A and B are shown apart, each in its own frame.
Chain A
Amino acid sequence: MLTEAEVIKRAAAGKSYWVRVRERLLVDRLTLSVTLLLAMIVIMVLAAPVFATHDPTISSVMARLKSPGYEGHWLGTDEVGRDLWSRILYGGRYSLLCGVMPVFFALLIGGSLGLAAGYSGGTINSIIMRSMDILYAFPSILLAVAICGMLGSGIGNTILALTVTFIPPIVRISETVTTQVRSLEFVEAARASGARPLSIVRFHILNNVLGPILVYATSLISISIILAAGLSFLGLGVTPPDAEWGLMLNNLRQAIWVNPLVAALPGAMIFITSMCFNLMSDGLRSAMDVRM
């Protein structure tokens, strides 16, 4: 039981920002349903051994490129007769990993660089932002392809290449928001009261810049999934016999003349996943937009 004074105090304070964001998200049916779909995909993919009906690497000459419904292969088989459903599940592990990890690493590195640049300003800002301008001079796919092409294929190199690709936009966005927050009065007040730079960043700035940066990062995941699958599609990412959506698409490229439906399936998975991340990011953005 709250005291009367407590109730008045809470009412006067109003709901906190994050409570309001959560309330807005809970009534946004579209965002909720794509988040649910995404969670389902993640669970299915992580628990691939449970949901897979066949071993994803066992091939069969007799059962090549069969349409959905062929002898227990409910999504059909690929160009060497492997079960497509099981390969899509196992392939999703790499596709999601290559979609999420680069953005995560870029968020850590780019976010700190952007915070440092935005908070310190002056020379440090110039050094960081001008070196980012150099990375910005490469169109993103070209940069990823160049790095992967030079270092060779493999999942580690794919993640590295995409991380480098995503650092500049994250640095730019975090520098912009940090610069905006830095000039606000409460930061000035904290500095005037003798707080050290690190604790100002930790307690006053981070909370205020993390939201927009995170929203931006979720929209990058959708691009990252498309690019990572694209690298595998070019033969620069995950190497056979491992399954990965982009690689499966590449292997099935010739099969399009035989069984177009089966050949299109892995791409549909890339599309659905990337679309979910995009819609989720849009939903988060409008829920967190204070002007609305």
Chain B
Amino acid sequence: MWYFIARRVLYAIPILLGVSLMVFLLLKLVPGDAADIMIPPEAPREVAAMIRARFGLDQPVHIQYLRWLQSMATGNFGTSIFTNQPVASELFSALSNTFMIAIPAVILGFSCGVLLGTLAALNNGTWLDKLFSSVAIAGVSLPHYWVGMVLVAIFAVVHNVLPGQGMGPEGFPASWEQIKHLVLPVVTLSLIPMGVISRLVRANVLEILSMEFVSALSAKGLRTRQVLLHIMKNATPSALALMGLQFGYLLGGSILVETVFNWPGSGSLLNLAIFRRDIPVLSAIILVLATIFVVINILVDVLQALIDPRIRR
């Protein structure tokens, strides 16, 4: 088991290096560099050269990459060229805001998904199955940013029962007001995991139902509830793995939902950085989100191997 974990973690190193190289190359694809954005066109040449030298932009590309990698690896993300604030603090407060909606969303999506998928499989072929399956397929076909808009229209514009914008008052001890602000973004974000997970669970449970051990358990005289427990035990590992992946997708993909709800998370920060051409912020967000995604993938693999020994090779 330890060997499996060690191998999995070691394999992440080349991946992360490749990721960093890709982010760096993308940055180099931007027409003009950070200095071009900061230096006004009427600035004298010497000043421009000085600024370039200060940011290391006069060095050859591979040196620039290594320097950039070094500062990223030590957690020094530099300062935003737009607000002149350290990128790290901006990024982490934005990330924690994203976690605040992504964690409840993935939990909600997972529970609804498992429930819908299991019920659909147990009632295979009936109208209930068709209903739940269509809910699931709608979940994966809905543009969630549009769902967000529609939810705002219904609950904030027409009925005015839930707030549709922002995250409400500051401060952690979660007040009722803050929770009300969470509802719509969380429900919107949970649609995709709900759809994806319920489709997987339905297929899994159907497959397990056709296995011999299920009939054996029933023949042995176990009650339906106990048989169901055994089925669920077999169906959960892959659903859990998918939940982990979906959580990663939510973190990276919350940009659309955050835009709809003006939620000050990592997606909004990314959006802002793109339009301000704030390269230090941009590169830090992409790199950090990709790193989190890689770490989640490792955790998912390890968790799966813990539950299911067949995976440890």
Contacting A at CB under 8 A, from B14-49, are 14-16, 18-19, 22-23, 26-27, 29-31
Please state if A233 and B259 are interface contacts (CB–CB under 8 Å): yes
Q: Which of B75-83, B114-122, B152-160 contacts A (4 or more CB under 8 A)?
A: B152-160
Which of chain A's residues have a CB closer than 8 A to the CB of B289? 138-139, 142
Q: Which of B50-58, B133-141, B211-219 contacts A (4 or more CB under 8 A)?
A: B133-141
Which of chain B's residues have a CB closer than 8 A to the CB of A257? 157
Task: Classify the interface of chain B: helix, strand, loop or mixed.
Answer: helix
CA distance A197 to B88 in the complex (A): 52
Which of chain B's residues have a CB closer than 8 A to the CB of A274? 141-143
Chain B's closest residue to A135 (CB) is B22
Kindly provide the distance from the CB of A266 to the nearest chain B CB, expressed in whole angstroms. 8
Please state if A134 and B18 are interface contacts (CB–CB under 8 Å): yes
Please state if A138 and B290 are interface contacts (CB–CB under 8 Å): yes
Beyond A145-B255, A149-B282, is A260–B158 a contact (Cβ under 8 Å)? yes
Which of chain B's residues have a CB closer than 8 A to the CB of A133? 15, 18
The reply on A146 being an interface residue by CB < 8 A is yes
Chain B's closest residue to A130 (CB) is B14
The reply on B132 being an interface residue by CB < 8 A is no
Q: Which of B174-182, B231-239, B244-252, B300-308 contacts A (4 or more CB under 8 A)?
A: B244-252
Contacting B at CB under 8 A, from A257-271, are 257, 260, 263-264, 267-268, 270-271
Please state if B137 and A137 are interface contacts (CB–CB under 8 Å): no
Please state if A139 and B248 are interface contacts (CB–CB under 8 Å): yes
Please state if B19 and A134 are interface contacts (CB–CB under 8 Å): yes
Please state if B271 and A264 are interface contacts (CB–CB under 8 Å): no
Which of chain B's residues have a CB closer than 8 A to the CB of A146? 23, 26, 286
Kindly provide the distance from the CB of A277 to the nearest chain B CB, expressed in whole angstroms. 8
CA distance A260 to B154 in the complex (A): 8
Q: Which of A36-44, A116-124, A222-230 contacts B (4 or more CB under 8 A)?
A: A222-230
Contacting B at CB under 8 A, from A136-150, are 137-142, 145-147, 149-150
Over the window 233-277 of chain A, the binary record of Cβ atoms lying under 8 Å from chain B Cβ atoms (1 yes, 0 no) is 111100000000010010001001100100110011011001101
Task: Classify the interface of chain A: helix, strand, loop or mixed.
Answer: helix
The reply on A8 being an interface residue by CB < 8 A is no
The reply on B293 being an interface residue by CB < 8 A is yes
Over the window 136-167 of chain A, the binary record of Cβ atoms lying under 8 Å from chain B Cβ atoms (1 yes, 0 no) is 01111110011101111000000000000000
Please state if B143 and A271 are interface contacts (CB–CB under 8 Å): yes
Over the window 210-231 of chain A, the binary record of Cβ atoms lying under 8 Å from chain B Cβ atoms (1 yes, 0 no) is 0000000000001000100110
Contacting A at CB under 8 A, from B248-298, are 248-249, 251-253, 255-256, 259-260, 270-271, 273-275, 282, 286, 289-290, 293-294, 297
Of A141, A236, A249, the residue contacting B274 (CB under 8 A) is A236
Number of A-B contacts (CB under 8 A): 131
Please state if A234 and B29 are interface contacts (CB–CB under 8 Å): no
CA distance A147 to B274 in the complex (A): 10
Quick one: which of B19, B140, B256 has the most chain A CB within 10 A?
A: B256
CA distance A138 to B16 in the complex (A): 10
Kindly provide the distance from the CB of B111 to the nearest chain A CB, expressed in whole angstroms. 22
Chain B's closest residue to A231 (CB) is B256
CA distance A256 to B150 in the complex (A): 8
The reply on B228 being an interface residue by CB < 8 A is no
Over the window 177-192 of chain B, the binary record of Cβ atoms lying under 8 Å from chain A Cβ atoms (1 yes, 0 no) is 0000000000000000
Kindly provide the distance from the CB of A263 to the nearest chain B CB, expressed in whole angstroms. 7
Please state if A137 and B149 are interface contacts (CB–CB under 8 Å): no
Beyond A149-B274, A151-B29, A222-B141, is A264–B149 a contact (Cβ under 8 Å)? yes
Other CB < 8 Å A-B pairs besides A137-B19, A267-B147, 12 of them? A142-B252, A146-B26, A147-B26, A229-B143, A230-B256, A236-B274, A249-B145, A253-B260, A256-B153, A257-B157, A274-B142, A275-B138
Contacts from A to B (Cβ < 8 Å): 130-131, 133-135, 137-142, 145-147, 149-152, 222, 226, 229-230, 233-236, 246, 249, 253, 256-257, 260, 263-264, 267-268, 270-271, 274-275, 277-279, 282
Enumerate 18 A-B pairs (CB-CB under 8 Å) in ascending A order. A133-B18, A137-B15, A137-B294, A141-B256, A146-B26, A150-B26, A230-B145, A236-B274, A253-B149, A260-B154, A260-B157, A267-B143, A271-B138, A271-B146, A275-B141, A278-B141, A279-B137, A282-B137
Q: 4 tightest A-B contacts by CB?
A: A139-B252, A267-B146, A134-B18, A142-B252
